[in-house]
Amino acid sequence: MSVSNPVIPIKAYRFKFDVDSPINLPRFPGSAWRGAFGHALKKTVCVVRNTPCNQCLLKNACAYSYIFETPPSANAEKMRKYTAAPHPFVLQFPQTSATSGYELDIILFGHGQRYFPYFIHALQTAGRSGIGGHQQLFNLQKVDDISLTDHCQTIYENNELKPQQAPVHPHIPTMPSKIVITFHTPLRIKQANKNLVSWQFTFGAFFSTLLRRISMISYFHTDTPLETDFAGLSAQAKTVQFNQQNLQWFDWTRYSSRQQTEMNMGGLIGTVELDMHNLEAFWPYLWLGQWTHVGKGTSMGMGAYSIKSTNLPATTLTS
């Protein structure tokens, strides 16, 4: 089986906000932040009011369209049947609470880095307008550039944005003999139009979904589309079994302002253990997936996971 490693340049940023009252957001606040961010971004950049993005003449030259709607280009060879490609970002939320204030991480993929100033302006505007059902106010103080080795450098403060380093592909460490994958936010994977519950969850379903997501991100947001044996990898993944599995279904709903309705966003959280013997072909994808997330709702922070083993280096992942 001929395989090649995926290459997705990545930048990680930590937004630090001041708050004047105790945090009053849902356990998984990505939906609230994503909605407020999208509203602020569109208000900032849209010059053709009251026109659906898919009908807009400027849709292929618009920051909002690229970041939040992400339509495939007219000459795209992949995802022709889809109305939107994967977004060039995901939200992450640190596990450990900040000693004061509030922290939110943004992971940008490939060409998405070009639009970073828009993220700053839109998230600053969103915080000032209020987040969540209680419209809690968040005042942006600074933004740190988090290197993929967990080194932080402040690059935005007092309305000044410093020059930034180019995004880089995460270093793939030596594969350990055994790993534990922890799903921090609900993982939603569908087969036959049904969400997989814990007893249906397999490595094959997980990896094929991850492989498809990494392939699409590299195709739409980088200069190095993934070329590999997709069928061979997917077939081999179906033969792999987890050593241990401790997953639970977490049910929750979010309100979609665009669709004016409550939406069920439940998914799996918990851990799985995997013996990595003879799984070298999967390792680069599993490691990279810690930044890309997997499954449905990734841009709002869903499907976030981390990998632990006794001989693995620390990452910036704090979802």
What secondary structure, in 3-state letters, does the chain show?
CCCCCCCCCEEEEEEEEECCCCCCCCCCCHHHHHHHHHHHHHHHHCCCCCCCHHHCCCHHHCHHHHHHHCCCCCCCCCCCCCCCCCCCEEEECCCCCCCCCEEEEEEEEHHHHHHHHHHHHHHHHHHHHCECCCCECCEEEEEEEECCCCCEEEEEECCEECCCCCCECCCCCCCCCEEEEEEEEEECCEECCEECCHHHCCHHHHHHHHHHHHHHHHHHHCCCCCCCCHHHHHHHHCCCCCCEEEEEEECCEEEECCCCEEEECCEEEEEEEEECCCCCCCHHHHHHHHHHCCCCCHHHCCCCEEEECCCCCCCCCCC
Q: What residue type is 25 in one-letter code? A: L
- Give me the domains of the chain, ranges plus CATH numbers: 10-161 (3.30.70), 178-308 (3.30.70.1900)
**pLDDT for residue 319:** 38
- Between 3-7, 10-14, 57-61, the lowest mean confidence (pLDDT) is in 3-7
pLDDT tens for each residue of 252-289:
776 666 656 666 778 999 999 999 999 999 999 999 99
At residue 96, the pLDDT reads 58
Return the pLDDT at 148: 73
Average pLDDT, the chain: 90
pLDDT over 70 (residue 316): no
What confidence score (pLDDT) does residue 81 get?
A: 67
Segment 35-58 shows an average pLDDT of 91
